Structure 1
C-alpha cells in the first residue's frame, strides 16, 4: 500500500490517487482526522517542517505561520548551538517565523539530548490516539460546523445521581438507559418503526411503557408490595417515571435506613425487568414472590462483598500515611527536597530545593526563577530539573530526590506518561544518569515545608539564590518550627 499510495511521503501527507481503492478512500477520511489532531514533538528537529507540520499546542494543533518560501524548511534551522546544547536562535526566528508566533515557539522546551522527532496525539496525555479523544475532536472542532445534537431523554440531574450510587455498574447503566428511554419495551419499539402490538406482553391492559413495565404493571405492583419496602409504605407509584426514580434516589439517601433497605428498590427494579424478559423471550412466568427473594438475595450479596472490602485495611493508605513526615536518608546518601511556586496570572514559576545529610542537617539550599511555565505540573518538573542540576554540581553521587507532586513522581518512575512533558522528562533522565545512585520519592506538603518556603520566598529580590553552611535567620525560623 505504501508503494502505491504514499511511496515518498509520510502517510499523513498522503493524497487522493487516480483509480484508488475504496479501502484507501476510507483510510483518507481517518487520516484527515489524525493529521488534524496530531502534534510534532521536537527532538533533533530534522524532520519537522516549519509551515506544514503541526507544532503549536493549540486547538487544533497547527504549523507555525511563515512565508510560503520557508514552509518546507525544517525546524532545526531555528536552533542555536551553545556548547553541547541547543536553544532557540532569536535572529532566525525573527527572520523565518511570523511575529505572532514568536511567543509560541519560545514556550516550546528543547531537550538537551537530541533524540528523533516524535508525532503524538494532542488530545490525550499519553500521546496515543483513542476513539474517545478522536470523537471529542470531531464534535469540538472549531473549524467545522456540526449541527447541534439533541441530548438523550431524561433529567441530567437524576442521571448524575445515578452514577454516584453505591451499586453495581451494570445497574447504573440499566437505570441510565431507563431514564434515556432506551429500554426495549413494546411501546418504545413501535416508536422505532417496528410494527408490533404495543400492549404489555404480561397483562395486556395498556401499552408497555417503561414506567408501566417497572412500576404500574399488576405484576410489578405485586412485587413492590411483597417486598415490604418502606418506599411503598410512604407513597404509591406515580405514572411519571422520572418522579418514581427521583423518589427512589431520595430514599437511597435516607440516613435513617439501613443499607439493605435503601438499596433494595434498585435491585427490585432490576429483577422486575429480568422477569419481564423471561416472559417475552422464554415464555416463563416467574412468581412475584420469587422475584422479591431474588432481589433481596442479590442485595445481601452485594453488601456483603462491598462491606468486607471496606473493612480490609488499604495498603495504599498505609503507604500514604508513611509519606507525611520527613525521614533521614541512609548514611551514604543525601536527600534533596524540591518544590515549585507557580503564578497563575503571570505564568511564571520559581523552584526551591534543600539538601540534607543523613543526620537531617541542611548542607545546601537555594531557589531560582524558572522560564515561562504553562501550568503547575510543568513548574514542578522544572523545579526538579533545577534541583537535580544543583545537587550534581555540588558533587553528590548518591541522592534521594523528594517532592510533594505525586503526578510528577509517577511520571519519573515510569508508572504514567505525559506527552507535553516528554522533553522535560528526557532531560531529567539525562541528569539522573549522571549519579551513581538516585531514587525519586513522594512526600506530602507537611514533610516538604522547607522546600516549599524556598520556592515561595527564596527569589523575592533576585533570579537566583543559593546558600550553604548555617541557615539564614528567616529560613532557620521555619526549620526550628518544623516538627519533622
Structure 2
C-alpha cells in the first residue's frame, strides 16, 4: 500500500511515523520503496519509530540529531538555501514527553535559519485541540511553554483537524509551499484500515469479490458478470419468476441463447443445412423457431391480444425476452403472461424436436389449446404450492426491544452506516448499565467502505472505549449478523479487515467476562441513530457521557421497556 502511495504522489522526501518496525526488516522495506538514502529512529519493540527517506540526487540532507522521539535534519533542495526540519513522534506516555520538550529547546538554541517541525506530538497545544473540553493538562502547558521558548508558530494544516485513536489527538503541523517551496507534504489518513503489526502474522492472498476473502464459484461468477449489469439483471430476474422450475431452466437457456438450433449447429460444423425443418424457408435461429416461423406465428396470434401483436413480432431477440419475461404484459384467462409465454416457448421447442426425431408434431390449432391449458394448470398448481408453503412456514409475532443486562454488567450496542455503495461510512455505539442509564457512547466517521467494514469499526471503537473505562463485564450487541460471525470465527486471515478483527479479539480477551451476540434491529435503534449521525460529523471519534439529542428520546423509550412487533420464523 505504501509503495502505491509513493508511486501515486511521486514522493522524493518522505517521513513515516509509528512504523513499529526496526532492524534489518526496516532496511529491507525501505529499499522496496525506491529511496536510496534514509535515517531511522528505531522502534521500541512494536511501538514508535520514525523513518526519514529521500533521494540523494535531489536532496542534500544531513541528519544532525537522532532521538527516540525526533529526528533533526539539515535539508537542502538542489542549490536552494538550506533549512532545518525536525520529524516528531511524541511518546504516548506523558512522562517521557518531557525529554521531547527539552530536546526541542536545545535544538532551538543551537540553530539559526528557517526551521520546520512536523509530526505527531501526542499532545494538545491549545484548547481548540481538545474537541470541546475546557480542561487542559499539565503536558499541554509544557507544550505551550516549549513552543514559546522555541519561537514556533502554528502554520495550520491540510485536512480534518482531528483523528482520534486511544483517546489521544493526533495532530499534523504541516507547512505550506509558500514558506518552504521545495517541500510538498501530503497528509493521508487511511481511515478504514487498521495498521498491521508483526504480531498479526504474515500477509496472505485474499479473494476481493468475497466478503470473507475466500474464493467461491458464486463470487467468481458475480465478479465476471458485474460489468454487464443489463444481462446480469435479466439472469437474476429469471430465477425470481413465479413459474415452474422446468420453465425457469428453459428460460435460463433462452437468456443465454443456448438452444441448439440448426443455425447454431451449422456454426459448429455439425450440419450443412441451417434452414428451419418446419417451413424450409428461413434460417432456424432461436427467434425463428420460437416466434417467426409461420407455424408458431399462427399459434401466437391465436393466444395474444391483437393490439399487442405488432410490438410482439417486431422486437429484437433480447428485447423480446425482456419484455415478455420481466415486464407487465396482458394475462390470458387470468394466467400471468410469463407462465403462458414460457409454456408456449417450451412447447414450441419440444414440438420442433419431436418433428425432427419422431417425425411427428401437433397441428397449430391443437398446439394453441394445449399451451393455454397447460399454462392454466401450471398457474393453478403454483397457487396451491404458494398456499401450502405459507401454511408450512411457521412464524410468530414477537415483541422486540432493547433488554437491559444483568446487574453488574454493562451493555454495548454498536451499528454501522453506509448511505450507498462506494460512499463514506460511519459507525456509532452506546454503553448502558442494567438500569438503562447511559454510561458512554460515540459516533465516528470513517472513509469509503462497505457496510460490514463500518459495523466492524463500530465493534472496535466501542470495545476499545469500554476497555479504557475499565469495564470488566460487557455484553456486545449488533444487528449485523455478518460482523458478529466474523468476530466469533476462529480464523479470519483472508478477510480485508483481518487486522482490525484480530485487534477486537485481543480487546475481548482482556475483559473479565464478555458476550457477543446478534440482535434484531428493533433492539438496536440507539446505535443505529448514532451511526447515521456520524455521517454528518467531522472526521474522527466523537465521544459523550450524556446522550445526544438525536437518541435521548429512544434512550428513554428503551428504559421504559418499549417493544416493537416483528414476525419471526421458527
The answer to whether the superposition gives a TM-score over 0.5 is yes
Q: Comparing both structures, which one devotes a greater share of its residues to helix?
A: 1
Change (3 A) 1:279 1:350: closer
Change (3 A) 1:218 1:256: closer
Cα distance in 2 for partners of 1:211, 1:302 equals 28
Cα distance in 2 for partners of 1:434, 1:179 equals 56
> Equivalences for 1:263-282 in 2 at 5 Å?
263-281=339-357
Which residue matches 2:515? 438
Which residue matches 2:51? 92
Secondary structure of residue in 1 paired with 2:356: helix
Which residue matches 1:409? 484
Change (3 A) 1:257 1:286: closer
Secondary structure of residue in 2 paired with 1:214: helix
2:195 counterpart of 1:110: yes
Kept in 2, the 8 Å contact 1:348–1:371? The answer is yes
Change (3 A) 1:167 1:481: same
Cα distance in 1 for partners of 2:541, 2:557 equals 27
Secondary structure of residue in 2 paired with 1:385: helix
Cα distance in 2 for partners of 1:239, 1:477 equals 60
Cα distance in 2 for partners of 1:343, 1:284 equals 60
> Equivalences for 1:330-341 in 2 at 5 Å?
330-331=406-407, 333-339=409-415
Secondary structure of residue in 1 paired with 2:290: helix
Secondary structure of residue in 2 paired with 1:355: strand
Secondary structure of residue in 2 paired with 1:121: coil
Cα distance in 1 for partners of 2:556, 2:248 equals 53
2:33 counterpart of 1:65: yes
1:188, distance to aligned residue in structure 2 (A): 3.8
1:430, distance to aligned residue in structure 2 (A): 1.7
Kept in 2, the 8 Å contact 1:264–1:299? The answer is no
Cα distance in 1 for partners of 2:43, 2:466 equals 27
Kept in 1, the 8 Å contact 2:445–2:540? The answer is no
2:296 counterpart of 1:220: yes
Work out which of the residue numbers 162, 187, 191 in structure 1 matches 2:263. 187
Query: Which deviations, in whole Å up to 9, do the C-alpha atoms of 1:89-137 show, x marking residues without a partner?
Result: 3x226469xx999848787523578132131235323323457877999
1:397, distance to aligned residue in structure 2 (A): 3.9
Secondary structure of residue in 1 paired with 2:342: helix
2:209 counterpart of 1:124: yes
Q: Comparing both structures, which one devotes a greater share of its residues to strand?
A: 2
Kept in 2, the 8 Å contact 1:354–1:451? The answer is no
Which residue matches 2:503? 427
1:445, distance to aligned residue in structure 2 (A): 6.7
Cα distance in 2 for partners of 1:339, 1:208 equals 57
Cα distance in 2 for partners of 1:399, 1:267 equals 59
1:138, distance to aligned residue in structure 2 (A): 9.8
Which stretch of the first structure deviates more once superposed, 266-275 or 285-294? Answer: 285-294
Kept in 2, the 8 Å contact 1:214–1:272? The answer is yes
Kept in 1, the 8 Å contact 2:425–2:449? The answer is no
1:273, distance to aligned residue in structure 2 (A): 0.9
> Equivalences for 1:377-396 in 2 at 5 Å?
377-396=452-471
Cα distance in 2 for partners of 1:477, 1:380 equals 23
> Equivalences for 1:62-461 in 2 at 5 Å?
65-67=33-35, 80-81=43-44, 86=47, 89=49, 91-92=50-51, 94=53, 103=188, 108-110=193-195, 114-125=199-210, 126-129=212-215, 165-167=241-243, 171=247, 174-175=250-251, 177-178=253-254, 181-217=257-293, 219-221=295-297, 224=300, 229-231=303-305, 235=309, 238=313, 242=317, 245=321, 248-249=324-325, 252-254=328-330, 258-260=334-336, 262-281=338-357, 283=359, 285=361, 289=366, 292=371, 296-306=376-386, 308-310=388-390, 312-313=392-393, 325-331=401-407, 333-339=409-415, 352-362=428-438, 364-367=439-442, 374=449, 377-414=452-489, 419-435=495-511, 436-444=513-521, 447-449=524-526, 452-453=529-530, 456=533
Which residue matches 1:26? none
1:479, distance to aligned residue in structure 2 (A): 3.2
Secondary structure of residue in 2 paired with 1:118: coil
1:251, distance to aligned residue in structure 2 (A): 7.2
With the length of structure 2 as denominator, give the TM-score of the two structures: 0.53
Change (3 A) 1:377 1:49: farther
Which residue matches 1:4? none
Cα distance in 2 for partners of 1:169, 1:370 equals 46
